Structure 1
Amino acid sequence: MIDHAHDLACVRDATERLLTAAAKLDNAAVAEPSRLPGWSRGHVLAHLARNADALVNVLEGRPMYLSADARDADIERDAPRALDVQLTDVRESAARFARAGEAPADWSRTVELRNGVTDSASRVPFRRWAEVELHHVDLGIGYELEDLPQEFVRRESDFLAERFLGHPDVPSLVIEAEGGPVLRSGRAEGAAVTVGGRPADVLGWLCGRRDGSALTASGGPLPALPPL
């Protein structure tokens, strides 16, 4: 069972870690490339702020974004801002998300995200937690996949394995992260490829942050996963 209150607390903790780490940057560093192709660190920080507001929209029954073009334009507009402006925006938008999460609500209701994707409202806080943790890594400022909370690594790996379940371009997969539960993903039919490795490497492969070269694969080659 998903505990949205627990996940909201985890979002707050993750946001504080990110803000504390990013505060050590300067304006020049914010303009430098992040680990995401084509995005500076400013793009990542701008996206985090706008994503918080977008998830407030989701929780309050509005469209997540006006459009894909509007989402991209907002990030491009906000990316060049100075560090202090970026951090204030991330902090204030996070506070708006926290307030929306604290409001009385039916957490079992279904909400709509981007591209027609639907989910339980109770999973929105976890989705935000994933945004904060993974984009902290994307900033390239010393926070690595190995530094992520173990609970998050386990749950996000499970979430992503479920996301690829039944995907026509992903072969049947058995995923065995060291010390974790066995996960199944990909197509239901066909011989399964068994993938194993350290939890951080498994998550990195599933979320497109690592190429999988540190993983083992038996029963077939390690497949290239579609973009998220």
Structure 2
Amino acid sequence: MEPPLDAVAHAHRRLVEVIADLTDAQVAEPSLLPGWTRGHVPAHLADAARARGRVVEHWSRGERVALWEPGERDAIIEATASLDAAGHRAATAEMSGRLERAWAGVADWSAPVDPDEDDPVPPVFTRWREVWIHLLDLDLGVRPAEWSAEFAVHTVGVLRPRLPAGVSLRATDVARTWGAGTEVAGGVRDLAAWPAGRRPDEPPTSAAPLPELGPWPSYPARRQDLPN
């Protein structure tokens, strides 16, 4: 499956739209992520774009660099979370554009371009997920209903390892079922939001209580996790 470059560009545009009217007061307010203000969310997304763009820029010159040095990721997020709203808008636009330009220059996605992903699904998929999922965390009006069905199907496939054995998922609005066992049913976007640890628009239903989710799966997602 080709990396969804256009879909990521769309997610970036939506992020820019959502924070267009962000105020300095809102930056300091809590996000939906425990311990993070709203400012932490664009700080993380901007720096993740910077880091991934930098990796590809070096890769295009035959050089390999780490996404982050030990401790660097969290330090940058904490240092930039308190930017004012205008600063977050500028960083979001600049770093998202930098990443898109870097990825546009990749001619062959069959070769790893990310040293931390030796069996990669292209890291474009990781970016696609992180932008749309974190858009919910901003608590500025984006809900799972805005996700595309394609994105939701992909996200369910990646996050299924969080479910215990013996639990199946059945989408009621697209013809998709995952696994076998006690059925959890719901709209595909809600089925994606639930294992993502986010509030669905309509909670999935099951004859048994919804199971506890396991740990977030380690990345990268493997190719078999992707929709055909």
RMSD: 2.3
**Equivalent position to 1:63, from 57, 66, 72:** 66
| 2:108 partner letter | D
2:22 is aligned to 25
Deviation at 1:206, TM superposition (A): 1.1
- 2:36 counterpart SS class: coil
Return the alpha-carbon distance in structure 2 between the equivalents of residues 213 and 171 of structure 1.
24
After superposition, the Cα gap between the structure-2 partners of 1:217 and 1:58, relative to the gap in structure 1 and judged at 3 Å, is: farther
| 1:171 partner letter | A
Q: Tell me, yes or no, if structure 1 residue 177 matches structure 2 residue 166.
A: no
TM-score by length of 1: 0.83
Relative to structure 2, which stretch is displaced further, 149-158 or 128-137? 149-158
**Sequence identity percentage:** 34
Deviation at 1:160, TM superposition (A): 1.7
2:193 is aligned to 204
- Structure 1: 5+ residue stretches without partners: 185-190
After superposition, the Cα gap between the structure-2 partners of 1:213 and 1:21, relative to the gap in structure 1 and judged at 3 Å, is: closer
Return the alpha-carbon distance in structure 1 between the equivalents of residues 113 and 167 of structure 2.
29
| 2:5 partner letter | L
1:192 is aligned to 181
| 1:127 partner letter | T
Q: Tell me, yes or no, if structure 1 residue 46 matches structure 2 residue 34.
A: no
- 1:206 counterpart SS class: coil
Asked if 1 retains the 8 angstrom alpha-carbon contact of 2:145 and 2:201, the reply is no
The structure, 1 or 2, with the larger RCO (C-alpha pairs under 8 Å, 6+ apart) is: 2
- Structure 2: 5+ residue stretches without partners: 217-228
Q: Residues 22-81 of structure 1, C-alpha deviation per residue, up to 9 Å, x if partnerless?
A: 1112110111111111101100000001111222244433212112x2211110000000
TM-score by length of 2: 0.83
Relative to structure 2, which stretch is displaced further, 88-97 or 206-215? 206-215
Deviation at 1:192, TM superposition (A): 2.4
Normalized per residue, the structure richer in helix is 1
| 1:76 partner letter | E
